[in-house]
Amino acid sequence: MTEQSITVLLDKLGKGEKDLLDDVYSQLYAEIKAIAYNQIKQLKTGQTITPTVMANECYIKLAKKNNINLSNKRHFLNYLAKSMRLLLIDILRSKSSKKRQHITSNQTFSSMIGDDDVNLEWLEIDILLKKIERINVEYSELLEYKLIFNLTFKEISEIVNKSERQVMRNWSHVTTLIMALTKENRDDESKNGSVETSQ
């Protein structure tokens, strides 16, 4: 089926002919599974979820939507890619904080933040994430996307529906906040150490 034919089906789908979703999905199923495979491989979740399961989960989620406004094949596949990524992230978030010990990242925390003095253990990072979440949920999610899931700014921008430049600007705020909180923690530890010494 040509891209033009897919566009016609998606146009009808957007106008309420939801039964056409089966046709679109079946025509693009091989590509959808390939996207699912890449998403699973990229996030390295350690899960046994398969591309087939991922594709089917996204179908169920999409079928439940009242309004499906996806203008063309590329838009449709990009939407599914984002949906798959969010599903994988939800799976990771549902695990205990120990999950962070099993998620690989090619960057060290200090290099990612841009300050060699900021070098935290995973347990400290977990605490830091919770602190930032209390201050700004959006910043906490951004840190999680970068640090835990090792996503690029472009990938994050697609998830949060913001421009890459906005994401990078927020990342700058996040790193400033991290350094401030780290300094605050060190000052507190220093004070506590002085108190214990005096006693």
| Span 163-193, pLDDT tens digits | 999 999 999 999 888 888 877 766 655 565 5
Which two structure tokens, joined as six digits, stand for 95?
A: 């695990």
Picking from 31, 63, 93, the residue at the C-terminal end of a domain is 93
Looking at the fold, whether 103 and 183 belong to one and the same domain comes out as yes
Amino acid in the structure at residue 107:
Q
Average pLDDT, rounded, for the chain: 76
108 and 16 in a single domain? The answer is: no
Range of the domain at 105: 98-198
Domain boundary residue, one of 62, 93, 124: 93
Residues 32 and 83 grouped into a single domain? yes
**For residue 66, what is the enclosing H or E element?**
none
Higher pLDDT, 67 or 32: 32
Kindly indicate the confidence band of residue 141, based on its pLDDT and cuts at 50, 70 and 90. Answer: confident
pLDDT surpassing 50 at residue 29 = yes
Domain count, the chain: 2
CA atoms of 70 and 177, how far apart (whole Å):
38
Could you tell me how many helices (H) and strands (E) the chain has, helices first? 9, 0
Residues 120 and 85 in one domain: no
At 116, which amino acid appears? Answer: D
- For residues 179 and 138, membership in a common domain is answered with yes
What is the helix (H) or strand (E) element at residue 183, kind and residue range? Answer: helix 164-198
The CA dihedral of 62, 65, 67, 68, to the nearest 10 degrees, is: 0
Residues 104 and 189 both lie in one domain: yes
Q: With 50 as the cut, is the pLDDT of residue 59 above it?
A: yes
Are both 32 and 76 inside the same structural domain?
A: yes
Question: Cα separation of 168 and 156, whole Å?
Answer: 10
Across the range 32-56, mean pLDDT stands at: 80
Question: CA-CA distance, 198 to 2, in Å (whole number)?
Answer: 79
Q: Tell me: do 192 and 106 sit in the same domain.
A: yes
Domain check: are 15 and 104 in the same one? no
Same domain assignment for residues 21 and 72: yes
Cβ–Cβ < 8 Å for 98, 148: no
